[in-house]
Structure formats: structure tokens, C-alpha cells
Amino acid sequence: MSWCKKTIVIIMVIFAIQNSYSQSYNMGTSRRVAAGCNVNIYDNGGSGANYGANRNDTITIFSNNATNHFVSITIQSFDINLDDTLFIYNDSTANPAQLVPIGSLNVSWLNNSNSIIVGDWTYTANITNPSGAITLRLKTNGANDGAGFFITTACSIGCQTVSTRIDTLLTTPPIHREADGFFYVNVCPNQQVNFVGSGSYPTNNLAYNQSNDSTTFVWQLGDTTYTGLGLTNVSHNFTPGRGYDVFLQAYDQRGCNSSTGDYVRIRTSANPIVNIQPLPDICTGSPFNILVGADLASDIVITPISSIQQSSLSFDSTMFVPDGPNCTGLSDCYNTFVTFTSFLPGQSITSAADILSVCFTMEHSYLGDLQFKVVCPNSQSVITHAQPNGGSLYLGVPVDDGGGCSPDPSTAGTPWNYCWSDYPAYSYHGTAPNYLHQGQSTNCDSSNRANHTNFYHPMNSFAGLVGCPLNGTWSIEICDLFGIDDGWIYQWQLNLDPSLLPSPWSYTVNIDTILWSENYIQNTTDSSAIVIATQGGTFNYSFTIVDDFGCQFDSSITVTIVKTPLNNFGNDTSFCTNASVILYGGQPATSYLWSTGETTSQIVVNSTNSYWVKTTNSNGNISCIDIDTININVFPQAIVNYTANHLGCSPLNAQFQDLSTPTISQWLWTFGDGATSNISNPLHTYNIPGLYTTSLTVTTVDGCVGTKVDSNYVNVYENPVANFEPSTYRTTTLDPMVFFNDLSTAATTWEWTFGDPTSSINVSHDQNPIHTFSGYGIYKVTLTTYSEYGCVDSISKFINVENTFYFWIPNSFSPDKNGVNEVYRPVGFALDITQYSMEILDRWGMLIYKTNNYYDSWNGKVNNSGDRLKHGEYVYIFNVTDLTGKKHRYVGNVTLLR
């Protein structure tokens, strides 16, 4: 808390009245006060001026009371710059190395970063200090001097050390230390903080007994204070969205205060969701991005929670101020608000200078119509400008259109800045604009907010706001109390003295994660969720914002999803003439439009073309459309025809020939006997007589299929079976006639060939002919039969006509070279010439000639060579086998004639 010298003088006067015997001392480079039980101590500037720069002043205060030997000091006011420090030593020497500590520190220090309970907090010399003295030391740098301090003294029987500690392990949520050296507790909205503290008594029982139960603990929580005997544990709910300084201090049964209190900082989160924009209706299947961000164009607008100690706040929304008064339905006065939360609890306005300025950015014709009032949180107020002052002066460059009682905004003009202030360092026009511009009918001079020039004093001093709480909601009330004119306020700002702020620390709670818990969310990022829905309906997309503190904030955003019609013609379609296809539009749908111009849900097509349908499903807000296209090709039908040699005898080799049109790519023949073929012109053999139904199925190159079936198309005739039986298969030339008996079946015509070319009749067409063979031999007899359909069969058999056995042996021959009867040989019939031999012997039994060749002859010589033998008789021996296999032997005489 800042204190000016004026305040110090007031307190000093109060204390002078209360204790007219107190003496006052200013600190010097080295000063001692022997009778220090009831004195006032100031910095070197005394009660009326700031302390000096580059000071290193000390003052030691001793007790002059033998019973109350120990000095205590109470801080009544304190304004030490952050760069300067007041040290409090628990001893009588100015040498810090020789000092006895107060509490657990070698030195206790106080400056503006500490929270001081002015007039209530006391430091007492430790009971282990034999001198009972306290030494103060003020160390300053070369700049930024402050008002200093005012301290009163007293003497007591002596204090043992009291110190406090906030337990970092037992306090919940947990306390943690960060890199800046401070301890923090991160708190979510509605989350209770349970503090666990304790006292420490290192000098206990030197003079008296101390304990937590006999010690009063003071919890300064930033927005409230809990004080109680033995109050080591407290629980508290903090208002979300700002930071709090928490101090734990204590004093024991002798009133001895803790010289070393404990300190933590509370950082509270708050709901970062600023606004949830209505989502437009969407169609299924269309990606839709739900944007989350600080940008006002986002669907879910969030702002990271920041707690910044601010002494200036603005109302930044443009506000129209209609003409007044006495306009039905319209107010004469309009209020706008700002709320401060950065100051310490209980901190208040102590002087007019604590309010640096109130500034407006506005335009209005006729300042004399207006009244401005500043209202603080406890409803104290000050009128900064009162109607009718200002007359016809303009604020800014307004559009002076006569106003009237219309609530509709008029055309806005150009705003200027106007500031009211009592701060002595600023430059002013005067107490009110009309005082300085009397008789002028132009614009009031604007204020330079950057250089703090051309400011105006309020008509009523800001001193009327002394006692107003700094924290809370402040408002500006603007009243239009005279007719005709209106205007616009673009912004106003309340600026309090920043030196009133406590220790300057701030924080921001960023967004860590966004969790989504609804169907159809396909992908998420740190700032968006992509929705691709497949079903229509109204859906609440629940989401959770998780911040850096782990705090979760649940909400939902509603979206209406319209089902997109699903057109799916599938692949392009082809079919053959004399057929058609039905095309169906998608479902659900409220309307259809086909490429043919039809508007029905389905159409029938039977011609080659490209067809499309545009299907629409609408809920009145959005139309979801799907378009699909299909190509239809209609091909000529197959005309099936074929030919074959379909009539004939078994086996019938039927050659089939395809005559189908148009161009054929595939064939399937069925021949009626279980056989099939897939070639274009097959050859098929029918082995079994009968009637056969055939068919041909063809496929054109375009895929059109046709079939032709011919019942009993193939007729395979039965073949005759030729057969006969002769009256004999073996006869002789003595009986060469043979009878032939026909045994054929299915024959209607007969043709016999007897294999007897020398016969005058070698061929016969009789069914049962008779043939006389012309001589001996083996004859091939063939019967060829014909059916009524010309089918043929033949069979051949052999007839053996044998000669009658005959063997004639001549009894003489004359090899006399006359050409007659020159050689000797037998003549035989029906001989097996392979079983033949002829021998010629003389009368003495000598072999003269021998042969096994039936056709050889004896010429009258020995072995048919040399000289002819003498005439006479010779012996012959013939061994002959007839055709029946019977052997014959002939022995006799042959005469060799001259």
C-alpha cells in the first residue's frame, strides 16, 4: 500500500493527540535512541518529505524500562520503493554480521513487495537478545524515492521467536515452486483450497511455553482474512479469474508476531468460453470445421484467462446516446461499467490524486445537454460535468441533425478525447469547458491523453470518492437532460494510480486441450474439430476445454445436419435392344431433376445416352444436393442362325456352320447327344442312329446373347448289316456250283461279286444268288447291301474250289533232239507241290536224278548233265501229297528210247 507524506502527517497528528508525550526521530547515518519505549520513527525525510537517494541510515532503539526490557515496533505507514529496503535487526549493533536474527532469518526486510498490516503488525526483539534493542537500517539507491515510513515503538517483557509455514505437501490443491522462486497453487472454479499451516517455535520455553494452540494464526487470503487461536487449517473458495497473495502470519500469547511469515500465490482459472455462435445447418458427407479460438469469427470463442494487475480499465463498446429527456420508452441516463479486481482486499481511495483521470472518446452536439457522473463500487459518486454547463459547444465533430426522441442511432460523427482529472502533474484547461470557452460556439478542445495536456478539472473534486473501495464495479452515468441533440460514446477509461497496486505479478492460463465426445468427428486439432456426419438430425456436440491448470469446462454446440441424398447409379450400364432399365434417384429427397427433364423419383430408359439426376433434400434453411451420372449403351440383339449336313448314315460327320449376326464373340453348341462345343464351326460325329435336337447360343461382341433350338434337326440313319452264308466254303472243280444265302439286316438292295473274272456272270443283284465257279482256286465273294436311305455295308468271304487229284506217269521218252518227247516228267492235279519228290535209279539201284521241284524234268543224263545214258529201262520213284494231305508213292519203270 502506498502512503504519501500528507497521509503520514495526518497519522502523526492522530498519534500526537493520542500520545502527546511521544518523541519523534528521523533516521540518520547512525543514530541511537536510549528511551525507545514510546517514540515515533521516520525515515531521513521526516514526516513531511520523501526519503533521500543513496541512503544507508540506521537507528537503534533501546528500552528504558527495566521490567519491559524488549523493544517492539509497529509499522503505521509504509511506502518503500521496490529498489529500496528497510532491514530490521534484532540487536543493538549496526554491523549486520554481528546481529542476532529475528526468527529464522539473519535479516528481516520490508519493502513494497511485502503485504503489511498497517498499524497492526509488530516486530519485537527476540528474547535471546540481551540488549532487547531493535536496529532499523534503510538502504536506498539513486532513484525512485518513496514517501518512506512511520513506525511507533513500545516495550514489553520479551518475545520468543514465532514463525509460520504453509505445508506444501498437505495443502490441496498442491503447492509447487516455479522458476521465479515463488510458490503457487493452481485452482479451478468452485474448487476449494484447503490450507494446512503450522507454527515454529525455535526458542520455546526460554521464558514461556508456546504451541499452535496458544498462537493466533492470521491467514490473509487476498480477498478475505481468517484469524483465530490455533487456526492452522483453513478452507476457502476463491472468486475465479484472478490471482491472490496468501500470507500466513501468527502472534503468540504475549502478542509476539511471526517475523518470518509464509507466502504463496493463488492462481485461479475461470471459464474461458466467451461465446458459442450458432452453427449453420450442414449436409451429411460434407466436411465441416468447428473452429475454436479467440477470434470473434470462431464458432466457439474462447479467451485464455489472464490475471493482470491493472489500474486502468476501459469500456470499449460503442454506445448511442439518444436525445432526452421526456422521450417515451427511452431513458435519460445510460450507464456503462468496468470492474477492478487487482487491488488488495479493503484497499480504498485515500485522496483525489488516487484517481488519475476519467477519459471519454465521444461526439455530441451541445455539451450543455449532458451530465457526467462517476460512481464507485460503494455507490459514492462525483459529478464531473453538470448540465447546463458548456452551452452549445460541440464534443468532437458531431452530426448536428436535430436529434429527437428516436431510439434509432443517428449518423455518427467524429469522436475526440476528453479527460477529467485532479492529478497535480497534468496540464489543464480549467474546471469546466465552458469556463474556458465562454461565448465560443465551436468544438471543445480535445485532451491529449498521451501527454496529459488539455485535461479538465471535474466540477466536483474526486476527493468526493475518498473511501471508495478500489476493487469492484465502477460506472459512468451519462444523462441527456435537454432536448434536440444526441451523440455517440466510443470508449471511456478510468485510470487509477498504478502505485496503489500490490506486488506486480500476473499470469495467463492457456488452453491445453479440447476434448470432443460426439459421433462423426473425424479429426481434431488444437483449434478445430472436423465433422463429417453420415446421418441427419440435430446433434449436440459436447466438448471440454482443458486449460493448463487441468481445469475442465464442459459445454456443447448444436448443429442441425440434413441428410444428403445418396445417388448411386453404379457403373455404366449396357444392355441389348428390346430391354430397358429403371434409374432411381437418391433418398431421402424433396425434389428430383433428371437430364430428361423429368421430376419423378425414377425414370425408365431404353436408348443409348448419358443420364444424370440432381437430387435435393432441403429443410428450408439448407439444400443438400447430390448429382450422379450414368452412361447407358443399348446394343443390337443377336440373330442366331446356322446350317449343317444334318441328314446321313451312321456314323454321321456333321459339319456345323454359324450364320449368326452381328459379329459373334462366343458360341455354345449343343448336339443333342450330350456333347457341346464352343468353337464357331464345329465338326461333330454321330455314331448312333436317331433324331437329335441341336441348339446354338451366341454372344455378340457387345455382350448380347441369342439362342436358336432346332428339334430333331439331325437325323442319323441306321446302316444295313451285310452277312451271308454259302452252301460250302470248299468244293472241287468237279462240283463248282455254290448257293449263297443272304443273312443281312436293313438291306433293300444287294450286290454280289464272286471274284471269278473268267466267269460270264461275276456280279449278281439277287438276294440269294447261285454261282458256278469257272475253275479251281480260292475266290473272294463280297456282298454289298444298301438301305433305303443309301446306307451301305459289305462283307467278304472266301470259297475254295479245288481240282480232283490225278497223277499220270509216262512210261518212256526219247531225248533225240527231234523236239518231241524230249524230257521225262509226270502230270498231276490237285497236288501239294511242296510235298513232291522224283527219283530216277538205274537197274542196279544207283540214283541217277532227283528233284523236289514239281516242274523240273529228267533229260536222260546223270543229274541232267553230261552224256545221255544208254537206252533201256530205268526205275522211277514218285512221292506225292494231294491237296487233302494224302500221300501217294509211285514206283515203276520208264524206258529211255533211242
pLDDT in tens, 732-767: 888 899 999 999 999 999 999 999 988 888 999 999
Measured at the CA of 153, the angle between CA 149 and CA 156, to 5 degrees, comes to 150
Encoded amino acid at 585, one letter: G
C-alpha to C-alpha distance for 219 and 345, rounded to whole angstroms: 13
Set of cell numbers at residue 893: 519203270
C-alpha to C-alpha distance for 489 and 316, rounded to whole angstroms: 9
The pLDDT, as a whole number, for residue 327 is 66
What distances in angstroms separate CA 436 from CA 419, 430, 440, 443, one per listed residue? 15, 6, 9, 12
C-alpha to C-alpha distance for 478 and 637, rounded to whole angstroms: 92
DSSP tag of 8: H
Q: Where are the beta strands (DSSP E) in 411-520?
A: 416-420, 428-430, 455-456, 472-480, 487-496, 507-509, 511-516
Q: Which residue has the cell 464442459?
A: 554
CA atoms within a 13 Å half-sphere pointing along the CA-CB vector of 146: 28
Low-confidence ranges of the chain (pLDDT < 70): 1-21, 92-121, 259, 324, 326-332, 390-391, 401-410, 430-441, 483, 503, 518-519
C-alpha to C-alpha distance for 257 and 161, rounded to whole angstroms: 8
Set of cell numbers at residue 745: 439286316
What distances in angstroms separate CA 480 from CA 9, 360, 375, one per listed residue? 43, 16, 17
The pLDDT, as a whole number, for residue 315 is 78
Strands 319-321 and 507-509: unpaired
Q: State the maximum Cα–Cα separation within the chain, in Å, rounded to a whole number.
A: 220
**Does an H or E element contain 319, and which?**
strand 319-321
Q: Give the global pTM.
A: 0.53
12 Cβ neighbours under 8 A, 6+ residues apart: 24, 40, 47, 150
Set of cell numbers at residue 105: 532469518
What distances in angstroms separate CA 295 from CA 276, 299, 337, 725, one per listed residue? 12, 9, 23, 121
The pLDDT, as a whole number, for residue 823 is 95
C-alpha to C-alpha distance for 690 and 672, rounded to whole angstroms: 10
Strand ranges of the sheet holding 148-156, from the earlier edge strand across to the other edge: 23-26, 39-42, 148-156, 70-79, 122-124
Closest by CA to 563, choosing from 517, 636, 619, 637, is: 619
Set of cell numbers at residue 289: 470445421
Other beta carbons within 10 Å of 577? 12
Set of cell numbers at residue 184: 503457487
Q: Where are the beta strands (DSSP E) in 365-486?
A: 370-375, 381-385, 416-420, 428-430, 455-456, 472-480
C-alpha to C-alpha distance for 222 and 79, rounded to whole angstroms: 20
